[in-house]
Amino acid sequence: MTVPGRLEAAPEDEFAPTVHTATTRVDGIPFSARVCAAPSPRAVLLALHGGGTTSVYFDCPGRPELSLLRTGAALGYTVIALDRPGYGASAPHGDDFHDPARRVDITYAALDRLLTRLPCGQGVFLAAHSAGCELAVRMAADPRGRQLLGLEIAGAGLRHDPGTVHALEAAEAIRRAGRRPTSMRETLWGPAALYAEDVWNTPHIASDSPLYESAARAWIEHDFAALAARVRIPVEFSLGDHEKVWESGPAALAEITGLFTASPWVRANEQGGAGHNLSLGLAARAYHLRVLSFAEECAVLRTRGSAKGGNV
C-alpha cells in the first residue's frame, strides 16, 4: 500500500537504484510520483515530464540504463519524477489547474509533502522537458524559486520547426476529413534510428493530456521572456541535435539562453545523437549525465555561497 507522502527506502547497506511509487494529497487532490532515493543524497532532482506522457518518461520502461531516476540515484541524487497537475493520480482533477499560479502553488506543495521523509542534501534542482518547461520556468521565476539549486529545461523553443508545423497542419486536415493520419512519431520524436526499437514502438509512455494544456502553449509567446528575466538561479537549456519540434541549432540555443538576463550562470547544450525526447533515446544516459553534472556544479555553488554566508 502507498502511504501519502511516505516512501519505503531500502536499508543503506542493501541500497540499489530502485524506483518506488508515492502518492500525496494537496487540497484533497492526489498527486503521484516515481521516486528513486539515494540514502544520503547530494541533492534532490525534481523532474517534470512533457505533454502526452507521465513521470514514466524519466524511467523508460524496460530500459533501466536510460532512466534518469536510476542514474541519478546511482550517482547520489534522489530523483522525484512528479506527475504534473492533470496527469497521473490528479488526472480526474484536470479542470482545477487552468490557472498557472494554481499549478505552481500546488506543485510546490506536493513537492514539500513528498520531501517530508526524504533528506534533501544541498537542496532541490529542477529539470523539465517540453511542455513541462512551462511549469518549471514559472516555478523558477516565483520568489520561492530562488531557493532552488538550478534549472534544466529541454525540448522547448520559441518557434516550432516549419517542417513540423506543416506536418501537423496536414494531419489536422486529414482528421477533419474523417480519416486517421499516419503516425506522427518521427515528426515529433526525431529519426527512429536515435531510439531503441522497443522504445520507439512502446505504447506505455503515452497519456491523455489535460484540457488546460492547449491554452498553456501560449505561454511561449506571451510569458516566456518575462518569466525568464525573473529567474535568478543557474540555468541550462538543452536541445537535441536532431530536434524536429522546435527550431534548433546554435542560433536558437543562444536566443533562448539570452532571455535569462538575471541568472548568474546560463549554459546552452546541444545534445549529440538526440531527438526531441532526450530521456528516451539512445543518448539518454549521456544527456542525464550532463544534467547531473550541471546539478553537481550548482550544488558546489550553493556550498560555496553558504560558506561565505550568502546564497547563490
Q: Quick one: pLDDT at residue 13?
A: 36
Alpha helices by DSSP H, listed for 190-270, are: 197-200, 212-216, 219-222, 224-228, 250-257
- 119 pLDDT more than 80: yes
**Cα–Cα distance measured from residue 281 to residue 304, given in angstroms and rounded to the nearest whole number:** 35
CATH number for the domain formed by residue range(s) 12-307: 3.40.50.1820
**Segment 52-62 mean pLDDT:** 96
Grade residue 278 by pLDDT with cuts at 50, 70 and 90: very high
Alpha carbons within 13 angstroms on the beta-carbon side of residue 187 total 16
**Segment 23-46 mean pLDDT:** 97
**Segment 114-118 mean pLDDT:** 95
8 Å CB contact between 202 and 115: no
Give the tens place of pLDDT for each residue, 134-193.
999 999 999 999 999 999 999 999 998 888 878 777 766 766 777 766 667 888 899 999
C-alpha cell at 102: 494554481
**Burial bucket for residue 268 (CB in 10 Å: 0-12, 13-18, 19+):** middle
Domain-wise residue ranges, the chain: 12-307
Among 63, 50, 204, 59, CA closest to 127:
50
Among 158, 118, 129, 151, CA closest to 55:
129
Rounded to 10 deg, the angle between the 100-114 and 132-141 helix axes is: 80
List the end-to-end C-alpha distance of the chain, in Å, as a whole number.
Answer: 40
